[in-house]
């Protein structure tokens, strides 16, 4: 075996996997070296010089910093990192907000303050459960600032009187229930190599037909059974990390270790996760480590009085996001690495989450954050890997490597990490051992854009089958993609969901089964099913749907804000529409369930890409095979075909396992599902055999060997 000595050993794996990376091997090597160096520094950063695992570092950090009650001794320990502060005092209801009685010990050489509060004379904790508190810092100039502890695990909205007197900022609570929730169910098994991943993206607060903020308990009782019925095997929970501004959709995080109190208590979130596990459903957290809220009094911004503690300084030009009005982390800081890595370990250990969807990865990867002309990507490797052109933030790349190392170390058998990256950064979803960044999946963000572009700009008869297939299959070999037609982004006000693009106002008047379907509704229901099925089967190695869109939710999302009179009318999901047998929403709902269960049985997702045998522009037919399953789509708006030849590789007898034309799915029952298709031993469309099928207009069939 000849070894290519020009390729550094630490990235040899990715270069051998993708030869086009060879000219950039040294750039990739430098980036990996930084991540590996940080890993070494962290795992060797012990007082006695011994080795510690990344897991131990992260776990010891969240168990050390913040407030912790010792059940055995009755003591409460509090530790905070605030290098710019001169003094620190813990104040709250427990000491009548006395600003002198509980001073934290003078900071150590690293800027840490700490205090141990003994129990009361009766042995009870000195700080009552759920009582309010703050940390007060004295700055070098003698002025005082009041903050919520950075590692606080509970933060709540103030009551009306408090908000009127002191402002609307959130309040820190000492969460120490007498009896903590005990998990009853084990994590569901997930094998990265073979198991499918069908993700139901959900937001607890909007998960009710009522115009209000729904609760963890309501989600557990009302929505989890729906997800189970539909056949999804994972939930991606949004807006869990505490955010003072509800309309930010959870993406302006103020308190990273606090599960949002607007939905209920930490124990109730644990019950939600535990109940999902009992149903065999994985639970992923939408984690926001790409930026943080600018809030100071109830967030991390200017926490110790400086603007560069957790973030790049504003004067550096790197401390503020140009579009999001938020602060940007300094990933090169050891203490920031501690904070963010321990945040991941905390949610895995304390709440039993099974993995993470990392928000805003494109913004993290590049100094230009994917904004403006510099943030336009054609796929040229120089845009990612050229030292002169890429603008890559090496420190952010190294942090993402560490984050993936940690999650996979904590959950070696079942970890799931997903990157929200629109840029297509090479090696993002290749293993760390090969020289990649280590994510398991990336979101296929070009797919919903493609569907909306077609619906907005092209007549049905002008749809380009080759363009559709190319977009759905244009992904990096060996780097898994989560395919989706629409996520929460397409549901937000200012955009339109697929159902709205297809049917618009007719959804309010013509969805009743008590009258014949109009042309608009008939087209909309047919294409909604076909688009979801085609994206599901051809677009990636996993699939994601946003709650409500599976049944064609008729309205967008708009959270209460000053522009809508603080209305909750659009901040809800009308599941009642899917439950009504007299409305056609139920048909889309049941089709989605049939689709997910069909994949569960035949498992085409986590397999190699499909072989597309037909993209007929005149007939508007797409046909392909994936993992032995045959998919046939007729997108023609008017033409149906009898005895249409479809090439197949494996000989035998095929049967229909899913048919979009079933009456219960809003179709016309034109297909005989008892039919069997016998192969003819003659080559057709680069396949060894063919079958002949009846395929009506705007219908899709899924077939498997009988």
Which residue bears the tokens 């003072």? Answer: 244
The backbone torsions φ and ψ at residue 161, rounded to the nearest 5 degrees and listed phi first, read -65, -45
Question: 326 vs 291, 294, 321, CA distance in Å?
Answer: 6, 5, 6
With residues binned 3-state (H G I as helix, E B as strand, rest as coil), the percentages for the chain, rounded to 5, are: 35, 20, 45
d(CA 332, CA 321): 17
The residue from 242, 297, 307, 359 that is catalytic is: 359
The residue from 274, 304, 420, 421 that is catalytic is: 420
Both structure tokens of 393: 């933030």
d(CA 336, CA 341): 8
Question: 610 vs 227, 487, 627, 636, CA distance in Å?
Answer: 27, 24, 8, 22
Q: Per this entry, what is the length of the chain? A: 706
d(CA 361, CA 290): 7
* 695: nearest Cα among 631, 644, 652: 644
Tell me whether residue 359 is one of the annotated catalytic residues. Answer: yes
Query: Which helix (H) or strand (E) segment is 471 a member of?
Result: helix 465-473
Query: What residues contact 555, with CB distance under 8 A and at least 6 apart?
Result: 570, 574
Nearest 5°: the CA angle 68, 70, 71 is 130
d(CA 166, CA 151): 22
The backbone torsions φ and ψ at residue 575, rounded to the nearest 5 degrees and listed phi first, read -60, -20
* 206: nearest Cα among 158, 235, 239: 239
Is the separation of the CB atoms in 530 and 538 below 8 Å? no
Which residue bears the tokens 């009506």? Answer: 696
Which residue bears the tokens 């016998």? Answer: 678
Question: 72 vs 125, 129, 334, CA distance in Å?
Answer: 11, 16, 32
Both structure tokens of 259: 């599960």
Tell me whether residue 420 is one of the annotated catalytic residues. Answer: yes
DSSP 564: G
Query: What residues contact 122, with CB distance under 8 A and at least 6 apart?
Result: none
Which residue bears the tokens 């990636």? Answer: 540
Residues designated as active site? 359, 420
């Amino acid at each position: 075996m000849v070894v290519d000595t020009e390729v550094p050993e630490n990235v040899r794996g990715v270069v051998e996997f993708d030869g086009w990376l060879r000219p950039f091997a040294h750039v990739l090597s430098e980036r990996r070296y930084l991540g590996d160096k940080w890993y070494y520094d962290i795992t060797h950063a012990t007082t006695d010089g011994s080795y510690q695992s990344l897991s131990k570092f992260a776990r010891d950090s969240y168990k050390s910093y913040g407030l912790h009650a010792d059940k055995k001794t009755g003591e409460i320990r509090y530790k905070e990192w605030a290098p710019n502060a001169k003094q620190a005092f813990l104040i709250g209801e427990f000491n009548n907000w006395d600003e002198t009685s509980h001073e934290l010990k003078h900071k150590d050489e690293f800027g840490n303050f700490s205090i141990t509060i003994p129990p009361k004379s009766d042995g009870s904790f000195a700080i009552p459960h759920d009582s309010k508190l703050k940390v007060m810092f004295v700055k070098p100039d003698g002025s005082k600032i009041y903050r919520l502890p950075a590692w606080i695990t509970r933060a709540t909205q103030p009551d009306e009187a408090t908000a009127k007197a002191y402002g609307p900022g959130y309040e820190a609570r000492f969460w120490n229930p007498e009896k903590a929730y005990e998990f009853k169910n084990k994590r569901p098994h997930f094998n990265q190599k073979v198991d499918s991943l069908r993700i139901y993206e959900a937001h607890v607060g909007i998960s009710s037909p009522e115009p209000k903020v729904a609760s963890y308990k309501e989600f557990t009782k009302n929505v989890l059974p729906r997800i189970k019925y539909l056949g999804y095997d994972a939930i991606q929970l949004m807006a869990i990390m505490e955010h003072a501004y509800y309309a930010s959709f959870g993406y302006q995080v103020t308190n990273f270790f606090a599960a949002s109190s607007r939905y209920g208590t930490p124990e109730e979130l644990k019950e939600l996760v535990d109940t999902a596990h009992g149903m065999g459903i994985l639970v992923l957290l939408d984690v926001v480590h790409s930026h943080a809220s600018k809030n100071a009094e109830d967030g991390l911004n200017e926490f110790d009085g400086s603007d560069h503690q957790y973030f790049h300084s504003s004067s550096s030009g790197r401390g503020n996001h140009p579009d999001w009005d938020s602060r940007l982390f300094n990933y090169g800081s050891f203490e920031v690495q501690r904070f963010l890595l321990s945040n991941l370990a905390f949610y895995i250990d304390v709440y039993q989450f099974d993995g993470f969807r990392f928000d805003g990865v494109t913004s993290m990867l590049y100094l230009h954050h994917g904004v403006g002309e510099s943030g336009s990507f054609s796929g040229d490797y120089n845009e990612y890997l050229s030292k002169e052109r890429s603008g890559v933030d090496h420190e952010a790349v190294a942090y993402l490597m560490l984050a993936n190392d940690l999650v996979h170390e904590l959950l070696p058998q079942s970890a799931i990490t997903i990157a929200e990256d629109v840029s297509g950064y090479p090696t993002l979803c290749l293993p760390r051992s090969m020289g990649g960044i280590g994510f398991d999946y990336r979101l296929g963000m070009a797919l919903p854009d493609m569907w909306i572009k077609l619906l907005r700009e092209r007549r049905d008869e002008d749809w380009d089958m080759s363009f559709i297939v190319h977009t759905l299959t244009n992904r990096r070999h060996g780097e898994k993609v989560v395919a989706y037609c629409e996520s929460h982004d397409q549901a937000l006000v200012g955009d339109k969901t697929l159902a709205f693009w297809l049917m618009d106002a007719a959804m309010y008047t013509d969805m009743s089964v008590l009258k014949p379907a109009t042309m608009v509704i008939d087209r909309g229901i047919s294409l909604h099913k076909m688009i979801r099925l085609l994206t599901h089967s051809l677009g990636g190695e996993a699939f994601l749907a946003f709650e409500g869109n599976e049944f064609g939710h008729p309205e967008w999302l708009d959270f209460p804000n000053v522009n809508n009179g603080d209305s909750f009318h659009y901040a809800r999901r009308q599941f009642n529409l899917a439950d009504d047998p007299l409305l056609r929403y139920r048909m889309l709902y049941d089709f989605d369930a049939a689709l997910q269960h069909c994949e569960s049985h035949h498992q085409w997702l986590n397999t190699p890409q499909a072989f597309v045998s037909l993209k007929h522009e005149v007939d508007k037919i797409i046909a392909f095979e994936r993992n032995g399953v045959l998919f046939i789509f007729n997108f023609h708006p008017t033409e149906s075909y009898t005895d249409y030849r479809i090439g197949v590789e494996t000989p035998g007898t095929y049967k229909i396992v899913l048919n979009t034309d079933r009456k219960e799915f809003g179709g016309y029952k034109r297909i005989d599902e008892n039919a069997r298709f016998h192969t003819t031993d003659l080559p057709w469309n680069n396949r060894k055999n063919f079958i002949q099928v009846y395929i009506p207009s705007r219908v899709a069939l899924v077939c498997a060997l009988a």
